[in-house]
Amino acid sequence: MRARAAIACLLLSLPLAAAAAGQAGGAGQAKQAAATRAKLDATRGQAQAEDQKVQDLKKRVDALESNSKTSREALEARDRKIAELERQLEAERHP
């Protein structure tokens, strides 16, 4: 989210940077534009990397939730089996 906010700030600052560079002259303007583009490219790269991390974490959470569900279901099945065996044992003790 911070990366997207930074990109938005950079995009909004481009016209201001261009206007300021226009006052400084042609050579200064080109240098300023190149620096702004470099910052923008770096920010975009960072945003893409963070988006990839988010996607990886979402996949990990999904896998953990799936494993948790499977484990819970197996535990419930064992609990049912134990309860059934206890009922059978009790029935054999008290015919």
The residue ranges of the chain whose pLDDT is under 50 are none
**Surface-to-core class of residue 43, CB atoms within 10 Å of its CB (0-12 exposed, 13-18 middle, 19+ buried):** buried
What are the residue ranges spanned by the domains of the chain?
Answer: 2-93
Q: Is the pTM of this model over 0.75?
A: no
Q: What is the pLDDT of residues 10-20, one digit of tens each?
A: 666 666 655 55
Q: From CA 61, how far away is CA 53, in angstroms rounded? A: 12
